[in-house]
């Protein structure tokens, strides 16, 4: 009986224990399910956060890319500006140097004038010092002119003043040179008329090559900024004694660039060692400039006087211009070149003779073409060729 009661008690305890554990198990299952739901929610929130973080990163990367591209553009622009600034600084430096030279010249002129005024006060007479003042002013003007020439020294200006006024004369078997000296309104009728200085013997040889039944005309190649152009020209005046001829182009168009004649003052000051430039078409080439000096002012040949220059010249230079190197004004027409040897003469390139401009001007005064001697100087800035 006691055993049965004990067994019943044990069974009851076991059942109670099982019930307790079952309740605990249910509670644990409920808690686990709740934690699973929380974990799922956290995982979902984490996924959303990762998505949003990825989108933000893409947008940020894109923005960074745009900013980097803009930075590169600004860097390139800055480099270009630095290059331009460097170039401008270089030009500014050259201008400053030129201004400094002009300022120094101005200071010298001012100082000299002040000294002259002081001397004038000491001597008490303007008349006594007038010549000295004039000499001082002239020296300073020459210095300023030299400075101006050096500042204006550029290839384009030289080309317009020396090469473009030069022409080539062509015949069947003869080639020579010439210089455009006038292209202005025609004296009669509409349009313009253009004249060329050259050597008479060049025209004579060209005419000698032309058959008797053909027209005696000279083919002239003119050099324009845009290229060459051929014209026909007529002999309108000649002076065999000084080996000079004047040609007139058969064209009513204006040629833009012609040579400027030397002034009386320049001709008066010309002497041995004066620097010159000879321009011509040796051996049929386009105009070629060569530099030298006047080496002699007295060379009598056939009753005429010629100036000798040592600027290298050759066959085909005849008729071309001889210019002052500093002002680029015409002072003569190249005529002859020395040779040596009887049976096979050799040319001496540095011993050339030119017809002096003073002799040309004297002869022009006796012809209908005296206006060529008194014409105004050409403006090298103009560049149109009306009617070409």
Confidence tier at 11 by pLDDT (50, 70, 90):
low
Poorest-pLDDT segment among 33-37, 164-168, 192-196, 369-373: 33-37
Percent of the chain past pLDDT 90, that is, above it, reads 51
Task: Show Cβ contacts of residue 129 under 8 Å, excluding neighbours closer than 6 positions.
Answer: 116, 119, 120, 123
Residue 109 lies in a domain: no
CA atoms within 13 A on the CB side of 26: 5
Domain that holds residue 226: 166-373
- What's the pLDDT score for residue 375? 47
- What's the pLDDT score for residue 166? 98
**What average pLDDT does range 213-235 have in this prediction?**
95
Which tens digits make up the pLDDT trace of 32-83?
A: 677 777 778 777 877 776 777 666 677 777 888 888 888 888 788 778 777 7
**What average pLDDT does range 163-179 have in this prediction?**
95
Residue 181 lies in a domain: yes
Quickly list DSSP for 168-208.
EEE-SS-EEEEEEEEEEE-SSSSSEEEEEEE-HHHHHHHHH
The widest CA-to-CA distance across the chain, in whole angstroms, is 182
**What average pLDDT does range 188-208 have in this prediction?**
96
- What's the pLDDT score for residue 199? 98
For residue 206, CA distances in Å to 12, 196, 238, 315 come to: 153, 16, 14, 14
Place of tokens 């027209």: 215
From 244, 361, 353, 360, select the one nearest 298 (Cα to Cα).
353
**What average pLDDT does range 137-160 have in this prediction?**
75
CB 161, CB 381: distance < 8 Å:
no
Strand 300-301 and strand 304-305: the pairing is antiparallel
From 332, 335, 330, 184, select the one nearest 248 (Cα to Cα).
184
Residue 132 lies in a domain: no
Q: Is 207's pLDDT higher than 90?
A: yes
How far apart, in Å, do the first and last CA atoms of the chain sit? 151
From 313, 315, 311, select the one nearest 345 (Cα to Cα).
315
Q: How far apart are CA 88 and CA 110, in angstroms?
A: 32
Confidence tier at 380 by pLDDT (50, 70, 90):
very low
Q: How far apart are CA 321 and CA 264, in angstroms?
A: 18
Which tens digits make up the pLDDT trace of 267-305?
A: 999 999 999 999 999 999 999 999 999 999 999 998 999
Q: How far apart are CA 168 and CA 220, in angstroms?
A: 6
Confidence tier at 10 by pLDDT (50, 70, 90):
low
Residue 137 exposed, middle or buried by CB count within 10 Å (0-12, 13-18, 19+): middle
- What's the pLDDT score for residue 100? 77
Q: Which residue has the higher pLDDT, 139 or 27?
A: 139
Beta bridge partners of 237: 246
Q: Is 129's pLDDT higher than 90?
A: no
Domain count, the chain: 1
Q: Is 13's pLDDT higher than 60?
A: yes
Residue 155 lies in a domain: no
- What's the pLDDT score for residue 383? 44
Residue 299 exposed, middle or buried by CB count within 10 Å (0-12, 13-18, 19+): middle
CA atoms within 13 A on the CB side of 171: 23
Q: Which residue has the higher pLDDT, 64 or 321?
A: 321
Q: How far apart are CA 73 and CA 67, in angstroms?
A: 10
> Would you state the structure tokens that stand for residue 253, as one six-digit string?
């168009």
Residue 191 lies in a domain: yes
CATH of the domain at 318: 2.40.10.120
Mean pLDDT of the chain: 84
Q: How far apart are CA 47 and CA 43, in angstroms?
A: 6
CB 196, CB 203: distance < 8 Å:
no
Residue 145 lies in a domain: no
Residue 386 lies in a domain: no
Which tens digits make up the pLDDT trace of 74-124?
A: 788 778 777 776 776 666 676 577 667 767 777 877 787 787 777 766 666
Beta strands in 7-64 (DSSP E): none
- What's the pLDDT score for residue 286? 96
Quote the pTM value.
Answer: 0.60
Beta bridge partners of 238: 245
Q: Which residue has the higher pLDDT, 331 or 1?
A: 331
- What's the pLDDT score for residue 234? 98
Residue 312 lies in a domain: yes
Beta bridge partners of 230: 221
- What's the pLDDT score for residue 114? 82
- What's the pLDDT score for residue 128? 59
Beta bridge partners of 321: 279, 333
- What's the pLDDT score for residue 98? 66
């Amino acid at each position: 009986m006691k055993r049965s009661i004990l067994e019943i008690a044990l069974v009851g305890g076991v059942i109670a224990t099982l019930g307790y554990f079952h309740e605990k198990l249910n509670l644990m299952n409920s808690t686990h399910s709740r934690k699973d739901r929380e974990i799922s929610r956290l995982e979902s929130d984490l996924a959303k956060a990762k998505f949003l973080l990825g989108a933000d990163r893409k947008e940020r990367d894109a923005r960074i890319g745009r900013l980097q591209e803009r930075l590169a553009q600004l860097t390139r622009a800055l480099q270009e500006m630095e290059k331009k600034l460097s170039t401008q600084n270089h030009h500014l430096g050259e201008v400053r140097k030129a201004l400094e030279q002009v300022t120094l010249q101005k200071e010298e002129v001012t100082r000299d004038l002040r000294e002259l005024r002081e001397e004038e006060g000491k001597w008490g007479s303007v008349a006594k010092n007038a010549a000295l003042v004039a000499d001082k002013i002239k020296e300073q003007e020459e210095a300023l002119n030299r400075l101006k020439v050096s500042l204006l020294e550029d290839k384009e200006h030289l080309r317009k003043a020396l090469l473009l006024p030069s022409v080539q004369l062509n015949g069947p078997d003869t080639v020579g040179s010439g210089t455009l000296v006038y292209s202005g309104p025609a004296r009669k009728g509409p349009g313009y008329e253009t004249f060329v200085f050259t050597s008479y013997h060049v025209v004579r040889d060209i005419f000698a090559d032309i058959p008797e039944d053909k027209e005696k005309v000279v083919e002239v190649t003119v050099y324009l900024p845009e290229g060459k152009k051929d014209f026909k020209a007529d002999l309108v005046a000649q002076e065999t004694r000084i080996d000079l001829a004047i040609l007139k182009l058969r064209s009513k168009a204006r040629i833009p660039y012609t040579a400027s004649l030397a002034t009386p003052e320049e001709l008066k000051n010309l002497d041995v060692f004066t620097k010159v430039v000879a321009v011509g078409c040796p051996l049929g080439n386009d105009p070629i400039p060569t530099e030298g000096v006047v080496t002699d002012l007295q060379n009598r040949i056939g009753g005429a006087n010629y100036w000798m220059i040592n600027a290298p010249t050759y066959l085909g230079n005849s008729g071309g211009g001889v210019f002052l190197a500093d002002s680029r004004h015409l002072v003569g027409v190249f005529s002859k070149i020395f040779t040596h040897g009887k049976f096979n003469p050799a040319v001496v390139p540095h011993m050339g003779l030119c017809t002096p401009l003073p002799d040309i001007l004297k002869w022009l005064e006796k012809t209908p073409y005296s206006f060529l001697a008194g014409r105004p100087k050409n403006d090298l800035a103009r560049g149109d060729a009306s009617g070409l």
